[in-house]
Amino acid sequence: MECTWTRKDLLSIYDLSADEIRMILNTAAEFKKVSERKVKKVPALRGKTVVNLFVEPSTRTRISFELAEQRLSADIINMSTDASSLKKGETLLDTVKNIKSLQVDIVVMRHSASGSPNFLARHLKAGIVNAGDGAHEHPTQALLDIFTMREKKGSIEGLNVSIVGDILHSRVARSNIWGLLKLGAKVTIAGPSTLVPKEFERIGVRVCDRLKDALEGADVINLLRIQHERQRAGFFPSTNEYARVFGLNRETMKYVKPDALIMHPGPINRGVELDSAIADGPQSVILEQVTNGLAVRMAVLFLIGGCIKND
Ligand code: CP
């Protein structure tokens, strides 16, 4: 039975029930059909104002949210650090107070500080959508990843999903792990031991030290971007060493099932975590993830738009 959506905010996947996740995925499936029509625009958010507050760089998420808002007929305000008074030292709370006085309906927020969308949600009646906060969560990325897996594999229950890379600092990994476990997938994580906390075993995740163990038997392999600053901080010896031991390439593809999906949230470090031949190869669904991101973000904004009450 479908649940009823009651949240004004989407702050994390951790907060959601399995039914709420399914409701977003099912709503996204309907919006994907809209995106395939000749007329792709619907009036669902007509008269509503959405602020995109991106205080950290983004390509995919920012463009995807903006297009989703346009497709839903919302009025849009784009704010970024470089083009706002945040650069002049204005505090986030002062920015929030200004947003509040403009009576906007939804704020989509990316910030390097974990928990900043929760802070916003406590101070605003507007709906808050977390577009990635520090190393905490990136809920819409996980939803579009899970949507893509479900679309390709039919069901998430019992699916073997391996996430490879810097789990310790990855908001994408955290959101994926919570969502996949809630929907009954079997989740494996792998990478250098300095970047793959053993503590994840306590919530039912399999932790591997060797790439081969994570690849064999996996239905989905989700590779994470290796952040170069982690190498400078000593989490692994060198980028070349990482590519040799944990990179997915023609050599390591021999452990991968022929029907396994290769996923990556982007941006890709080609030749490090993933070789171009695999990223652009027949098992890659990376660009389909981007396409599905639009439908998922339309669904999230649509559901939240139905729950907000103006100040
Ligand atoms: N996947 C993702 O969040 O990409 P961007 O940083 O480009 O938004």
- Among the atoms of ligand 1, which is closest to the Cα of residue 64? 8
pLDDT tens digits for 87-126?
Answer: 777 888 888 888 889 899 999 999 999 999 999 999 999 9
Domain assignment present for residue 7? The answer is: no
Amino acid at 74: A
pLDDT tens digits for 151-193?
Answer: 999 999 999 999 999 999 999 999 999 999 999 999 999 999 9
Domain assignment present for residue 6? The answer is: no
Cα–Cα distance for residue pair 39/291, rounded to 1 Å: 17
Cα–Cα distance for residue pair 41/88, rounded to 1 Å: 37
CA–CA distances in Å: residue 15 to residues 118, 148, 261, 298: 12, 21, 27, 20
- C-alpha 253: how far from its chain's center? 25
CA of 249 to the centre of ligand 1 (A): 23
CA of 2 to the centre of ligand 1 (A): 30
Q: What does the pLDDT read at residue 219?
A: 98
**pLDDT above 90 for 252:** yes
pLDDT tens digits for 271-284?
Answer: 999 999 999 999 99
Give the helix/strand (H/E) hosting 128: strand 127-133
Domain housing 283: 139-290
Cα–Cα distance for residue pair 264/6, rounded to 1 Å: 31
Within this chain, do residues 103 and 174 fall inside the same structural domain, yes or no?
A: no
Domain assignment present for residue 167? The answer is: yes
Q: What does the pLDDT read at residue 6?
A: 95
Domain assignment present for residue 64? The answer is: yes
CA of 215 to the centre of ligand 1 (A): 24
Within this chain, do residues 93 and 155 fall inside the same structural domain, yes or no?
A: no
**pLDDT above 70 for 256:** yes
CA of 266 to the centre of ligand 1 (A): 6
Mean of pLDDT over the chain: 94
Pocket test for ligand 1, best of 58, 175, 291 (most atoms within 8 A of CB): 58
Within this chain, do residues 237 and 285 fall inside the same structural domain, yes or no?
A: yes
Pocket test for ligand 1, best of 53, 54, 55, 61 (most atoms within 8 A of CB): 61
Within this chain, do residues 65 and 151 fall inside the same structural domain, yes or no?
A: no
pTM: 0.95
Ligand 1 atom 4: residue of nearest CA: 60
CA of 60 to the centre of ligand 1 (A): 5
Within this chain, do residues 185 and 53 fall inside the same structural domain, yes or no?
A: no
CA of 112 to the centre of ligand 1 (A): 13
Q: Which residues line the pocket of ligand 1, CB cutoff 6 A?
A: 58-61, 132, 138, 141, 265-267
Pocket test for ligand 1, best of 60, 144, 225 (most atoms within 8 A of CB): 60
Domains contained in the chain, number: 2
Cα–Cα distance for residue pair 1/89, rounded to 1 Å: 49
